[in-house]
Amino acid sequence: MQLTISINLDIQPMRNIAELVSVAVGPTPSPPSCEDRSAHPDPLSVLSLPDELLSIILAHINQLDTCSVLATHSRFREVGQRKLFRYIYVTSHDTQLVVSSNFYTPFYTNFTVIGASAFDCIRFRPLDLVKKIVFDQHYGYTDWFKNTMKVYPHINFFVELPHYKEQLEYLQNNQIGRLRRFVLDQSIIFQDYQNENRLFVEELNVLKIPRCNPDLKVLQYLPNLRVLRIRDMLDVVHHAFRFGNWKKLHIEELSIFWKQDLLPEYITDLKYMFNLSSLESLELHFCMDNEVSPSYESDLQQMLTRTTNLTQLSLTCQHINFAEAIGMLKPNTLTSFHVGIVWERRFRLLGYEFDIRKVLNRQQESVERVSINDLIEKCECSSQLLEWDRFYKNVKACSTNDRYMYYKNKDEGAIRKVLQSGYLKLRQVVFDRRYYHISYAPHMNLKDIVRVL
C-alpha cells in the first residue's frame, strides 16, 4: 500500500509564525502541559507526524523567525536543532535569520543563513550538532572563530573570501584547507600564498582600494582560474593588458562592475583580454552617469557573437539599449538572463524598445530565469545572476495588503503574458527583488505563479 501525504505550506506573509505553529499544534488544554502533550499528541495534530516529516516542514519555512518556531514545542526544538542548525552560513549582510526556502536550490535546502544582526543565535548556544559553518567573509568574529575551533574541533569551518594577510596565515596554519576563492585587494596576500597552492585558486575578486593597486601579474600564474570579478578596476586591468605581458585568459565566469566613464576600448579589447568562446557566464554592469556613443551598442554586438557557450548573461546600463546585442546570441542557449534599466525609462523600454518577449524570442526554448531590475545603484552594483540564491526581507513592501496585492497582480499579469508567448522552461522571475516561482501541473498546461518573497 502506498501512502501519500500532502502538506500545504502556503503561509500568508502577514501572519505570525508562532500563531501559525500554535494553530497547527492545536489549542493548549489547561490541565496537561505543552510538554505532556508530546507523549500522546492529537492524531489530527501536526505533532503526530514522524520526525522525518517534521524536518521537511521546518526546512521549507521561508522568511520566518526560526527561533519562535523552535520555542513553541519540544518536538520542534529537537527536530529543528538536528535539521536546521546542522549547516550554517554566516553572511556579512544585515539580513534576518533565514531557514531554507522555496527556491529549490541545494544551498538553501541545506544551510541556515544567519546575518550580522542575528549572529547571537549561534554565538551563545551549544554547537555540538553543527557540522559546518561557512563565512562569506572573515569579519568581526576572529576571537569567536578561534575559540570555537578549540571547543568544537569537529566543526568544519570555511571562509569564502579572506581579506587580510593575518586571516590568510591563520587559515593556513590551522589547515582549514586550500583556499579556492580570494579577494585581490592587497598584493601581499598572493606574495605570501604558497606557489603550489595557487594551482587551487578558482575564483578571484579584484577590488579597488584607495592608494593601493593590486599586482595584476598574479593573473598569469593562476592556471585553474575559473571566475574573475573586476569591481571598479576596469581601467587598471585594461592598462595591465595594454602595457604588460598579458596572456589571454581562459575563464568561465567574468563579471565587470564599472561606474566611471566608459572608454570604447574597454569593450572592444575584451575579445583580446579573454577567450570569449570559453565564457559560460558574463556580467557587464556599467553604472556611469554620462551618455555613451551609439557605437557602443555595435561593439557589444560584435563581442557577444564570440560568446558561443554563454548560458548566463547579465547586462546593466541606463545608456545602452541591449535589445539588438542580445539578439546576436546563439539561439536557445541562455538559461539565466538579467537586464537592469532605470525607472524613468521603464515603460518605454519594456513596452516598445525593450519588450522582454521580443528580446528573448530566440531564447524561449532554453531560458529558465529572468530578472528585471529598475533599481540601478550608481554607487554600488551587485551581482544580479545570484538573485535566485539570495533572500530579501522587505517589510515595507508587504506592510499593507493593498500594496502587496498591487505588485502581486501587476507582476503576475506580466509573467503570464511571457508564458503565453511560448517560454515553456521559465521557472523563476525576479522583478526588483520580488521573487516568483512558476510551477507546472503534471500533464496540464496550467501554470501556478507563486510569490515567494
Q: Which of 192, 195, 138, 142 is nearest to 165 (CA)?
A: 192
Identity of residue 226: R
How far apart (Å, rounded) are the C-alpha atoms in residues 250 and 226?
8
Hey, is 432 helix, strand or coil?
coil
Q: Which of 279, 290, 350 is nearest to 318 (CA)?
A: 290
How far apart (Å, rounded) are the C-alpha atoms in residues 213 and 228?
17
Grid cell digits, residue 14: 502577514
How far apart (Å, rounded) are the C-alpha atoms in residues 415 and 425?
13
The pLDDT of residue 9 is above 50: no
Helix, strand, coil percent content, the chain, rounded in steps of 5: 40, 20, 45
pLDDT in tens, 189-225: 555 555 666 777 788 878 776 556 666 777 888 888 8
pLDDT band at 253 (very low <50, low <70, confident <90, very high): very high
The pLDDT of residue 429 is above 90: no
Q: What is the mean pLDDT of residues 333-347?
A: 70
pLDDT value, residue 195: 64
- List the domain range (segments joined by +) for residue 62: 48-160
* Dihedral sign (CA 234, 239, 242, 246): negative
Rounded to two decimals, the pTM is 0.65
The pLDDT of residue 73 is above 60: yes
Sheet of 112-114: strands edge to edge? 98-99, 112-114, 87-90, 132-137, 156-161
108 inside domain: yes
Answer for the pair 133, 88: CB distance below 8 angstroms, yes or no.
Answer: yes
How far apart (Å, rounded) are the C-alpha atoms in residues 247 and 237?
12
Hey, is 398 helix, strand or coil?
helix
Cα distances from 55 to residues 27, 131, 306, in angstroms, run: 22, 17, 47
345 inside domain: no
Determine how many CB atoms are found less than 10 A away from the CB of residue 22: 14
Answer for the pair 311, 333: CB distance below 8 angstroms, yes or no.
Answer: yes
82 inside domain: yes
Residue 312 buriedness (CB in 10 A; 0-12 / 13-18 / 19+): middle
How far apart (Å, rounded) are the C-alpha atoms in residues 267 and 30?
72
Grid cell digits, residue 112: 541556515
How far apart (Å, rounded) are the C-alpha atoms in residues 436 and 147?
41
pLDDT value, residue 334: 94
How far apart (Å, rounded) are the C-alpha atoms in residues 23 and 381?
43
How far apart (Å, rounded) are the C-alpha atoms in residues 58 and 60?
5
Q: Which of 153, 128, 123 is nearest to 141 (CA)?
A: 123
Grid cell digits, residue 60: 521549507
**Which of the residue ranges 63-77, 294-308, 350-364 has the most confident prediction, judged by mean pLDDT?**
294-308
Q: Which residues contact 199 (CB under 8 A, 6 or more apart)?
A: 223, 224
pLDDT value, residue 404: 56
68 inside domain: yes
Give 326-330's long-range contacts (Cβ < 8 A, gap of 24+).
326/359, 326/360, 327/359, 327/362, 328/301, 328/304, 329/304, 329/362, 329/363
pLDDT value, residue 200: 72
How far apart (Å, rounded) are the C-alpha atoms in residues 236 and 248?
16
List the alpha helices (DSSP H) in 138-260.
Answer: 142-151, 165-173, 188-192, 234-243
Angle, vertex CA 231, rays to CA 312 and CA 235, nearest 5: 110
Q: Which of 442, 425, 278, 450 is nearest to 365 (CA)?
A: 425
113 inside domain: yes
pLDDT value, residue 275: 94
How far apart (Å, rounded) are the C-alpha atoms in residues 37 and 47?
9
Q: Give the number of domains in the chain.
A: 1
Grid cell digits, residue 290: 554620462
pLDDT in tens, 24-67: 444 433 433 444 444 555 655 667 777 767 666 665 543 334 55
The pLDDT of residue 263 is above 80: yes
98 inside domain: yes
How far apart (Å, rounded) are the C-alpha atoms in residues 439 and 313?
23
How far apart (Å, rounded) are the C-alpha atoms in residues 130 and 308?
43
Q: What is the mean pLDDT of residues 174-194?
A: 54
HSE value, Cβ hemisphere, 13 Å, CA-based, for 130 = 23
